[in-house]
Amino acid sequence: MGELVEDETVRAERLLDAQEKAVELFAAVVERGILAPGVRETEASDAIRDLAGELLGIRRYWHKRIVRAGVNTLRPYRENPPDRVLAEDDIVFADFGPIFEEFEADFGRTYVLGDDPVKLRLRDTLPVVFDAGRAYFAARPDITGAELYAHMVELAREAGWEFGGAIAGHLVGQFPHETIDGDRLESYIAPGSDYPMRRPDRNGQTSHWILEVHLVDRELGIGGFLEQLLTLGPAAGS
C-alpha cells in the first residue's frame, strides 16, 4: 500500500483525477466502437481493459470489470450472469473500478446501440436521478446511507422505473480503501447503514462516496446503470 495522503485537498484532487481518467477511458471506448453488435460481454470487457492499459497505463482494478447487455442489465453487481452477445438494438452498461496512482475510480455508464425510444429514455433518466440524489445529499448534512438509499428508490419510482440495486453506492478512496462487505453496512449507501455519511473514515480523513443508480424495468427485461463520485466533481448531467 502506498503512503497515506494526509492533505485533504490533495486527496480530493487525486480522486477527481482518477475519475477524469475514467471519463477519458469511456470516451475512447465509444470512439473505438468497442460496444458493438456481435461482441460478447467478456470480449468487450477485455477490450476495455486492454485500451485502459494502452491509453492510460492502467494495470490494476479494485473490483471486477463488468459489461452487461440486454436482460443481463437487470442483474446487480454481485451476480455473474451467463456471457451474452450484444445485439443490434441492445442497451448495455459498463462498470469499471480502475486504480490510478493508488487512488480508486469507480465509474459506470449506459449506452444504447439502436434507436429504441424506451431504452434511450432509460439511458437519459440515469443522470437526472443521480443529480437529484446528489442534491438531496447536499441539502442534508446529517444524512445516513439508509436515508439516501430510500430516497434513491423513491426517485426511481417517480421517474417510472424500479431501483435495481441492493445498494446505491459505497466509500471510495486510496487503494485499498476502507473494507466494504456485508459485515460493514456503514461502508454502503444501503438499508441498515445508519451512520452519518459525513464522518471521518478509519484514518480520520474525510469520507468520500460513490453514488450508484441502477434503474430497471423487469417486464421489458432492461436496465441501466450510472455511477461516479457523489462528494466531489461535476454533476452527472453536465
- Whether 164 contacts 149, CB under 8 Å: no
Q: Where are the domains of the chain?
A: 8-229
Which residue do the cell numbers 454533476 mark?
235
Locate 200 and state its grid cell: 471521518
- Whether 108 contacts 95, CB under 8 Å: yes
Which range is most confident: 83-87, 92-96, 172-176, 233-237?
Answer: 83-87
Q: pTM, whole model, 2 decimals?
A: 0.90
d(CA 136, CA 147) in angstroms, rounded, equals 10
Q: If we measure between CA atoms, which residue out of 184, 194, 185, 236 comes closest to residue 212?
A: 236
d(CA 125, CA 131) in angstroms, rounded, equals 10
Mean pLDDT (the chain) is: 87
pLDDT level of residue 183 (50, 70, 90 thresholds): low
Q: What DSSP string describes 37-104?
A: TT-BHHHHHHHHHHHHHHHH----BSS--EEEEGGGGGS-TT--PPP-BPPTT-EEEEEE-BEETTEE
Structure confidence by residue, pLDDT tens digits, 196-213: 999 998 778 889 999 999
Comparison of pLDDT for 172 and 37, the residue scoring more? 37
d(CA 65, CA 127) in angstroms, rounded, equals 21
Span 33-62, average pLDDT: 85
pLDDT level of residue 70 (50, 70, 90 thresholds): very high
CATH number of 8-229: 3.90.230.10
